[in-house]
């Protein structure tokens, strides 16, 4: 007798031939969302050639981002400073992160698909609304 798993994974093809679907395991730790958010990307290593890349995200998860770029300098293992959401406005709610490139794909359109994982948030803990005051009160 077939187990419940076997019954769920069988597919019937025309002519009475039955096949079993192959199992694919999801390796990602969190779900991905496909939306565009502007970000500013710079290399964190002062030894590397400097560049500033302003791009929109294609796919976002809690710990990683995927985007397309024409910049050829991205390499797997490269550390980056990423500001997002990026805005030149003085009252923007941007945050800066340290990230590492984990993927670089040449694309048919001549661009590169770049994926990075976020390692940590940069800046002071607590930010502006932390309750810390320097006026002596």
In order along its 137 residues, the chain shows pLDDT tens digits of 554 444 444 445 455 554 444 445 545 555 556 667 899 999 999 888 899 999 999 988 888 999 999 999 999 999 999 998 888 877 778 889 999 999 999 999 999 999 999 999 987 554 444 444 445 44
Write the class of the CATH domain 29-122: mainly beta
Instruction: Check residue 124 and give its pLDDT.
Output: 56
Dihedral sign from CA coordinates of 126, 42, 107, 101: negative
Instruction: Check residue 114 and give its pLDDT.
Output: 97
CB 75 within 8 A of CB 68: no
Place of tokens 């990026």: 86
Domain assignments of the chain as residue spans, ordered by start: 29-122
Instruction: Check residue 80 and give its pLDDT.
Output: 96
CB 118 within 8 A of CB 63: yes
Instruction: Check residue 123 and give its pLDDT.
Output: 77
Q: How far is CA 95 from CA 78, 80, 84, in A?
A: 20, 14, 6
Count of CB atoms situated within 10 Å of the CB of 130: 9
Q: Indicate the burial class of 74 (C-beta count within 10 angstroms; 0-12, 13-18, 19 or more).
A: buried
Instruction: Check residue 34 and give its pLDDT.
Output: 63
């Amino acid at each position: 007798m077939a187990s419940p798993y076997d019954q769920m994974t069988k597919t019937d093809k025309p002519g009475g031939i039955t096949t079993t679907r192959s199992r694919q395991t999801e390796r990602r730790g969190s779900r991905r969302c496909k939306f565009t958010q502007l970000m500013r990307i710079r290399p964190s290593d002062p030894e590397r050639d400097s560049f500033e890349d302003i791009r929109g995200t294609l796919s976002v998860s809690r710990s990683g981002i995927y985007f397309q770029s024409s910049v050829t300098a991205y390499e797997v293992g490269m550390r980056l400073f990423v500001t997002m959401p990026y805005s030149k406005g003085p009252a923007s709610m941007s945050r800066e992160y340290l990230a590492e490139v984990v993927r670089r794909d040449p694309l048919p359109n001549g661009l590169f698909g770049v994926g990075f994982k976020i390692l940590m948030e940069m800046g002071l803990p607590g930010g502006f609304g932390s309750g810390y005051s320097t006026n002596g009160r």
